[in-house]
Structure 1
Amino acid sequence: MIVDCAHYRDGRRQQKVAMSPEQAAACCTEGGFVWLGLFEPGPEELDRVRGSFGLHELAVEDAQAFHLRPKAEQYEDGTELIILRTARYDDEREEIDTGEISIFLAEHFVITVRQGIASELHGARSRLERRPELLRTGSISTLWAILDQVVDSYAPVVTELERDIEQIEATVFAGVVAPTERIYFLRREATDFYRAVHPLLAVLARHLQPGKSPPELLPYFRDVHDHLLLVNEEVAAQRDLLATVLEANIAVISVEQNKINLRQSATMEQLTILATVFLPLSFVVGFFGQNFPWLVGHIDGFTAFLTLTVIGLLLPCLALYVWLRRRRRRPTPPMPEAAREAMREAMREARDAALTK
């Protein structure tokens, strides 16, 4: 779909109504340049534009595919294809929406192909139309306007990502287990965002080379480059911080799991002691509960009953109590000297490493 198409000459737009690709291609011979903007065009529409402006078939194929990284490609006819990744933060879903802009840049025309809702360019066109001194420098001024808007749109994304990371970081370092899936998701988003930002530095650096851009535009390109460097550093730091948060969250999960294991071990210990107490009692009761003639014939008075039953039950319990007390008082075996020396060496190395930082 054609969003807008205009002919610019002497720093001004020559008509208010958008033109067709054929009309725009004819205006290329009248001086100035044409800016044709397309949004998610179909193959037939791209073939129509390609036929009108003589674009390279490989460049058109690139504009139809979705790329993970920005890139720049120079073709034999002098046309340069620049592919940018755009980003926008969705507050409701707390996710980053990405898009793509393919720019066909030539001396007398600029064609932008947008993919995704996060690739709006109306603001860049309006801003450039208010700067006739920049429009007079030619079609490359549109590249500055597009890059400036795309890089400026990165800043809110960095801010929102920072807010999400701070929330996760506060949860983890408070000793509470954070959802690991959320941390992985944020790290993946930060990595994808980094892939959109970092390669753009090389694309922008090409137009900072001597003779590549008009002298009037060089300060503006350098300003965009400085902003992009700042965004690149912040995104790289966020990606590293998320890796640290993920490791800390795993450590918190391990601590919580150890607490659960300790509680389970304490419970099992109590159950084991209880079962151990009743084991000799069950043996005594079971033994004297047998209906052998000797037992029935010899346990016929209160004294025999008291001796063989009550005392027979108390003696195993007393012996078990003494045995458990002795096990608790058993001293812990000393640490071997080799292990003690290894621990001291590790502590010295850790202290030296901390002092050298």
Structure 2
Amino acid sequence: MIRNLSRAVRRAYRHTVDLSHPARSPLGSAVENCVVYHRGGRRPGDRSPREAIRETRGAGRDGFVWIGLHEPTEDEFADLAELFGLHPLAVEDAVHAHQRPKVERYGDTLFAVFKTVRYVEHEQLTATSEVVDTGEVMVFVGHDFVITIRHGRHGSLGPLREALEALPEQLRKGPSAVLHAIADQVVDDYLDVTDAVQGDIEAVETAVFAERTARGDAGQVYQLKRELLELKRAVIPLHRPLQILVEDPPPAVSPEIRPYFRDVADHLARVTEQLTAFDALLDSILQAHVAQVTVAQNEDMRKITAWAAVVAVPTMVCGLYGMNFDHMPELHWTYGYPVVLGVVATLCLVIHRGFRRNGWL
């Protein structure tokens, strides 16, 4: 079932034109969705967060409310924080982006931060191309609520919500099922981005080792390393939070959901291995590029040296005859100058042939 969910989410993403959702919901300036789920089903109708949690708690412990927000301000989030009793430290982290991936427990509430990534399409990689765009998704999980806060222009949870609603048995497992689905989607996006980055690395590798463009472009390699570092900052710190969810999960995580985080951790380990390999490969490509540039410079120096040796012969002979001695062998000989010119030309040809035979020219 979890595998089907991941595939459904990816299909939904491929068929979604705009995932940024810049428009604001009438539910609030930052609220994108406020939905009540009861026994795995979505209850129809629009409602405010206060009405939603009142309805959820009035229906017993068989449901929860899922509130989605996009880049709320402190004032916009203050009422929700008070309504659900969220810890001030977690609220501060949720409002201000640029947090590291983490999982923290505040009483009965779990607070998780995930870094989202998106591959930026480009026709050709340059020294200034943006390859990886990052954002963040913060998740508050309680026994009867889920609050998601999204930062950035990508990483919409709309397709994920629709995929989950198509699996009511999964939604019946409560808010922690949403937490797992978000973590699974984030890590699956890591896999997709790393596969796309691999294409850029292969293109750079081909350019560096191609015979006609042996010198390549070091700027492309450096840019890829910078973008790869951005991706690693999103991926590597997530290991510890997933380890907590697998080995020592907070009470907010349902026992039915805990085993599924192992699958997410396995996918994350695969991404980490790929990134490590990419980093090593880019280092090798950069070293190969530097070696090629050095070899090319050595070849240029050998050619310059060889031509300098060839030109040194007529320079030396002309220098000798420029001393204006009174007694020179051919000054009064009719064929003197032609013979000297012939000797100079012969010596130059012999030296040139020797250099060509040794590969200097």
TM-score by length of 1: 0.76
Do residues 29 (structure 1) and 65 (structure 2) align?
no
* Structure 1 match to 2:41: 12
State the one-letter code of the partner of 2:132: I
Alignment of 1:55-204 (within 5 A): 55-67=86-98, 69-75=100-106, 77-92=107-122, 95-175=131-211, 176-204=214-242
State whether residues 68 and 195 of structure 1, in contact with CA within 8 Å, keep that contact through their aligned partners in structure 2.
no
CA distance in 1, matches of 2:96, 2:249: 31
SS at match of 1:82: strand
State the one-letter code of the partner of 1:61: E
State the one-letter code of the partner of 2:31: I
CA distance in 2, matches of 1:256, 1:91: 33
Deviations 1:200-224 (A, max 9, x none): 1221121222664434223432222
Distance 1:310 1:198, change over 3 A: same
State whether residues 63 and 113 of structure 1, in contact with CA within 8 Å, keep that contact through their aligned partners in structure 2.
yes
Distance 1:276 1:69, change over 3 A: farther
State whether residues 277 and 317 of structure 1, in contact with CA within 8 Å, keep that contact through their aligned partners in structure 2.
no
State whether residues 41 and 168 of structure 2, in contact with CA within 8 Å, keep that contact through their aligned partners in structure 1.
yes
* Structure 1 match to 2:332: 306
**How far does residue 4 in structure 1 lie from its aligned partner after superposition?**
0.6
Distance 1:83 1:306, change over 3 A: same
**How far does residue 153 in structure 1 lie from its aligned partner after superposition?**
1.6
Distance 1:277 1:138, change over 3 A: same
Larger deviation, residues 58-67 vs 230-239: 58-67
Distance 1:185 1:305, change over 3 A: closer
Larger deviation, residues 168-177 vs 153-162: 168-177
State whether residues 208 and 217 of structure 2, in contact with CA within 8 Å, keep that contact through their aligned partners in structure 1.
no
**How far does residue 52 in structure 1 lie from its aligned partner after superposition?**
2.7
CA distance in 1, matches of 2:162, 2:137: 17
State the one-letter code of the partner of 1:161: V
Alignment of 1:277-356 (within 5 A): 277-284=317-324, 306=332
State whether residues 114 and 138 of structure 2, in contact with CA within 8 Å, keep that contact through their aligned partners in structure 1.
yes
Deviations 1:228-265 (A, max 9, x none): 22222112211111111111111111111112222222
Distance 1:282 1:142, change over 3 A: same
Percent sequence identity over matched residues?
36
**How far does residue 108 in structure 1 lie from its aligned partner after superposition?**
2.1
State the one-letter code of the partner of 2:48: S
Distance 1:210 1:113, change over 3 A: closer
* Structure 1 match to 2:3: none
State whether residues 246 and 259 of structure 2, in contact with CA within 8 Å, keep that contact through their aligned partners in structure 1.
no
Larger Rg: 1 or 2? 1
Deviations 1:99-133 (A, max 9, x none): 11111222222111111122111122112222222
Deviations 1:5-48 (A, max 9, x none): 1122222222342x323333434533432211011223321223
Q: Would you tell me which structure has more helix in proportion to its own residues? A: 1
Do residues 205 (structure 1) and 205 (structure 2) align?
no
Equivalent pairs counted in the alignment come to 309
Q: Which has the higher contact order (CA 8 A, sep 6+)?
A: 2
**How far does residue 68 in structure 1 lie from its aligned partner after superposition?**
6.1
Distance 1:256 1:64, change over 3 A: farther
TM-score by length of 2: 0.75
State the one-letter code of the partner of 1:192: E
